[in-house]
Structure 1
């Protein structure tokens, strides 16, 4: 986890793989040597004009040691904030999610205007909200700044992008001044580069080497420039203390990490084999009796393996839960843990345990890993269903209305109609809703066919007809372009937002697709935006292309002439919070009540079942099927599965530990005789079990990831009452944020830690209660 946070593409540093850094430069003359950043002149003349790069951002890194304070308007006292001085390209390199507003512009940078992008936590502290903050002012070191954007804040652990306030570097008074008058190109700036791929990164390094060579030729009689091997990759920047470190060996660092991982995995695994061997030794008479009655070796071996399989299913989950608790609670120090000597001591102790009980440790770890794997699979499946994952990041505040039904019982004649909502219902009921942040109408998705320009043959695509609000509810990342507008919707113009995958299939790449045309069911559509595609697992937002619903023939027509409110549209509503969600439900139920009063004389009665339903409610009901609002039935169903996965293996695991403790009674008796206290011995047993569990947790986690990715076409539907097949040709994409979600592992680890601790605590405590004489007599 420590190195995942340091190296993996986490928000907002999702482009780490293609990010390079130039942080230091050395300027050397015959009399002086200066190591600093680059000056504003160097950035303007050398860095910004570089060709082999997608984006170049200059950041003030020197002279920023002093603290910066905000003076709140409520006079509650100044407080310190983290500040970053940069340029607009910074927000193209780091994928900040803007809750409101935009980054400052190049003209803001050139003019030195006092404008700022602030984090959401600072916005709440200053203004009490993250909404309607743009345009408001605050005082930073007694200078007023106007807010131009509010972003979801970065973590302090993503140090390259972390700050609470982002300002144009032109507000810094001395930003044009060199670090040393003797070297006009030395200064206060570091530079961050975004490249397209490894080939462009190599080309950028070659371009900078050539730049260094030309500069040194130009100033050979005055000074020489040294950039070492910069720009460095993100991976190298994590492990290398300074670019000038000539003795740094990345392979040595990699070898060190491999040894750490192997020790964490193999030592507890081999120790588990000793536990099983000890238990089998005590079961030899039982096996002899069963053999004498005709039980074959294969049958007995199979039974033992199945016993251990079910015993250890839940064991490893504990280690995972514990790891997540430690990472969160000790986040201020745990990310430096791998450099401590204490860890080496633990490794030596674990290695000794491994050598003593090799077979037992191996089998124990494998079983524990399986327990973790099964529990993590379940946890990730429901995380993907319920958590805010791209692009459905607003799930917690999203409500759905999927359909309605009408009944008429008049003059002894009964009629009923059921469908989704019509265009008239949208205009009269839903678009005017007061208790809603955004309201979007869309079709349920359909399959249509594209006729490619290369005449390679028609191919099927998933299409959603919708409105512009759809892209405000679902936070699609636009590679280029923008959603179609309200004017496009009203005019019925054939514009389309397509995914990056479809753009590559149609045009060869996702860049340069804006304005280009394609045929959909032999109708010409123009591309207005290209987005990062949603996964098939985020079914509410998944499609290959999105078009205005006004391009759909007869979109204004009702499904039934008798009932003008039934049609092809489902409705998605985004609210501010749970309070507004409750008000939304009341408002819609009031609409239903008024409609039934209005048509009471006609005998027409409207019903919307449980709508509007929250995302949580809708997802849980998929597990048990049916309606009626009994979503607690789904909760009970899931808890039963979880307890079956955890309790049975945990109870069996306690039996394994009890068997091992029985074999260790003489050892415990001797240690007691020499002064070993009960609590100390108990602590050692618990730590031994914890090491085993942690190793099993890592193994199970890897197994879960492999299962989730390899079986992604069906495993994410395994808990649904009504599962469906994935359409042919659909790639079920599983993103990193789905697999590596911290909350999933934290919950899973919490369950496993408690159960595994109890399974070790009870047998160990009972064993250690035996008198010293009894323990020594056990193997006289």
Structure 2
């Protein structure tokens, strides 16, 4: 292997222009592929506070069919409680306002500022795994009693109380109500679309929002279901459908019907749900991704193949001498593929680093989620969000496929000519 590394390095030095173009082309190809992969990964890969995304099912919006047409949007607590909150199969079910609102807040007469506020129930803290810095969230008893407690993000606590220390127990004014800080959590990236906010309060303290109901079915709330295992998805769907059918019987006389559209959706399906009146098509999404990946692989592979072919033409005599001394075609072929794999891996590492850097630098333009105009925080990212084990193996797989596509045919053509022609430098 040491000899192969030396030979690879020497080959790159002998043809610097072709080598630079080859490495740059491979790096650019892997950069584009990994950028597409990362944009998709941040929507479905687990990270706090959505570390159990593989066990989550979501009902972000509902679809109510009425005599006058169709209404789409968040649902009422009445409908969510009747259909989803009483499910027996899941580990936990939470109801919350999907869209955080901007609300003014202040403490000790200080200058007020706005922060994103999400209304939740007590089960919210079981479904989502927040990182607690101080204190603990409100429990079921606090929630049912309507006690004005709040969980706030670290940056909000610093801005509100002008300290980095423990502020649990301190009070602040929110929507003309005095709330007490129950816990401080790490800031949440807006990429965690279901759990994102800066302040979380019990919805039992805001009856005005709870009472914003249309046709008794549509309202301001969404729900997330935490399963014991991803294998429970079919059972949860069946149980939810049975509850939905019972609920539709109760509103039948009004001429309304809540459309199912195969809800609830798992995290991957929910990530492409941009229109509540249409069921997301995962198969079509996968086909589109496959076409994009093939284009990003095949186009550079064709160009790199011609460069590999050009490099090998200058090694015909070398190949002939090695074959004259008994080296087999397979031995030569495997060495050429190995040499090119080393170059591909080096270029792939460069492309991988470029994609990570691009993810950090252009986070706002690349990763901003839909419906996030009212969010105070942007899509904060860190290495843990951008890079996962699966992302690394994607990069390795793309490097391997690109190497095979661009090297195998030229290498085989270089090895199949006769030894005499090889020695004479002929093809």
TM-score of the superposed pair, with normalisation by structure 2: 0.91
Equivalent residues, number: 426
Q: 1:574 maps to what in 2?
A: 226
Q: 2:51 maps to what in 1?
A: 393
Question: 2:24 aligned to 339, 342, 366, which one?
Answer: 366
Gaps of 5+ in 2: none
The reply to whether residue 596 of structure 1 matches residue 248 of structure 2 is yes
Q: Is the 8 A contact 1:423 1:558 kept in 2?
A: no
**Quick one: distance in 2 between partners of 1:421 and 1:432?**
16
Gaps of 5+ in 1: 1-341
Q: Is the 8 A contact 1:510 1:530 kept in 2?
A: no
Q: Is the 8 A contact 1:424 1:556 kept in 2?
A: no
Q: Is the 8 A contact 1:435 1:581 kept in 2?
A: no
Q: Relative contact order (C-alpha < 8 Å, sep 6+): which is higher?
A: 2
**Quick one: distance in 2 between partners of 1:373 and 1:645?**
10
Q: 1:693 maps to what in 2?
A: 344
DSSP 3-state at the match of 1:535: coil
Question: 1:766 aligned to 395, 408, 413, which one?
Answer: 413
Q: Is the 8 A contact 1:369 1:696 kept in 2?
A: yes
The reply to whether residue 500 of structure 1 matches residue 154 of structure 2 is yes
DSSP 3-state at the match of 1:748: helix
**Quick one: distance in 2 between partners of 1:417 and 1:407?**
7
DSSP 3-state at the match of 2:183: strand
Q: Is the 8 A contact 1:686 1:760 kept in 2?
A: yes
The change in CA–CA distance for 1:530 and 1:637 in structure 2 (over 3 A counts) is: same
The reply to whether residue 737 of structure 1 matches residue 388 of structure 2 is no
The change in CA–CA distance for 1:604 and 1:690 in structure 2 (over 3 A counts) is: closer
Q: Is the 8 A contact 2:316 2:423 kept in 1?
A: yes
Q: 1:402 maps to what in 2?
A: 60
Question: 1:451 aligned to 106, 112, 130, which one?
Answer: 106
Question: 1:543 aligned to 182, 188, 197, which one?
Answer: 197
Q: How does 1:613-692 map to 2 (within 5 A)?
A: 613-622=265-274, 627-692=278-343
The change in CA–CA distance for 1:654 and 1:730 in structure 2 (over 3 A counts) is: same
Q: 1:585 maps to what in 2?
A: 237
Q: 1:609 maps to what in 2?
A: 261
The reply to whether residue 439 of structure 1 matches residue 93 of structure 2 is yes
The structure whose Rg is larger is 1
- Note the aligned Cα RMSD (angstroms): 2.6
Q: Is the 8 A contact 1:466 1:546 kept in 2?
A: yes
**Quick one: distance in 1 between partners of 2:408 and 2:183?**
59
The change in CA–CA distance for 1:579 and 1:668 in structure 2 (over 3 A counts) is: closer
Question: 1:750 aligned to 397, 406, 418, which one?
Answer: 397
**Quick one: distance in 1 between partners of 2:73 and 2:404?**
53
Q: 1:188 maps to what in 2?
A: none
Q: 2:184 maps to what in 1?
A: 530
The change in CA–CA distance for 1:423 and 1:435 in structure 2 (over 3 A counts) is: same
DSSP 3-state at the match of 1:421: coil
**Quick one: distance in 1 between partners of 2:188 and 2:158?**
15
After superposition, what is the alpha-carbon deviation per residue over 1:361-399, rounded to whole angstroms, capped at 9, x for unaligned?
A: 233222211111111111111111111122111111111
1:408 deviation in Å?
A: 4.3
Q: How does 1:411-426 map to 2 (within 5 A)?
A: 414=68, 417-426=71-80
Q: Is the 8 A contact 2:345 2:399 kept in 1?
A: no
**Quick one: distance in 2 between partners of 1:537 and 1:466?**
19
1:454 deviation in Å?
A: 7.1
DSSP 3-state at the match of 1:566: coil
**Quick one: distance in 1 between partners of 2:112 and 2:296?**
47
**Quick one: distance in 2 between partners of 1:487 and 1:703?**
50
Q: Is the 8 A contact 1:480 1:529 kept in 2?
A: yes
The reply to whether residue 466 of structure 1 matches residue 124 of structure 2 is no
TM-score of the superposed pair, with normalisation by structure 1: 0.51
**Quick one: distance in 2 between partners of 1:742 and 1:763?**
33
1:515 deviation in Å?
A: 0.6
**Quick one: distance in 2 between partners of 1:393 and 1:778?**
60
1:346 deviation in Å?
A: 5.8
**Quick one: distance in 2 between partners of 1:583 and 1:728?**
35
1:669 deviation in Å?
A: 2.0
The change in CA–CA distance for 1:684 and 1:427 in structure 2 (over 3 A counts) is: closer
Q: Is the 8 A contact 2:49 2:129 kept in 1?
A: yes
1:753 deviation in Å?
A: 0.5
Q: Is the 8 A contact 1:496 1:527 kept in 2?
A: yes
Identify which range, 419-428 or 498-507, moves more after superposition.
419-428
DSSP 3-state at the match of 2:302: helix
**Quick one: distance in 2 between partners of 1:353 and 1:659?**
12
1:766 deviation in Å?
A: 1.1
1:548 deviation in Å?
A: 0.6
**Quick one: distance in 2 between partners of 1:602 and 1:732?**
43
Q: Is the 8 A contact 1:489 1:550 kept in 2?
A: yes
1:576 deviation in Å?
A: 1.3
DSSP 3-state at the match of 1:714: helix
The change in CA–CA distance for 1:728 and 1:390 in structure 2 (over 3 A counts) is: closer
1:435 deviation in Å?
A: 1.8
Q: Is the 8 A contact 1:422 1:565 kept in 2?
A: yes
Which has a greater percent of helix?
A: 2
The change in CA–CA distance for 1:725 and 1:601 in structure 2 (over 3 A counts) is: closer
**Quick one: distance in 2 between partners of 1:653 and 1:646?**
11
**Quick one: distance in 1 between partners of 2:207 and 2:249?**
33
1:531 deviation in Å?
A: 1.0
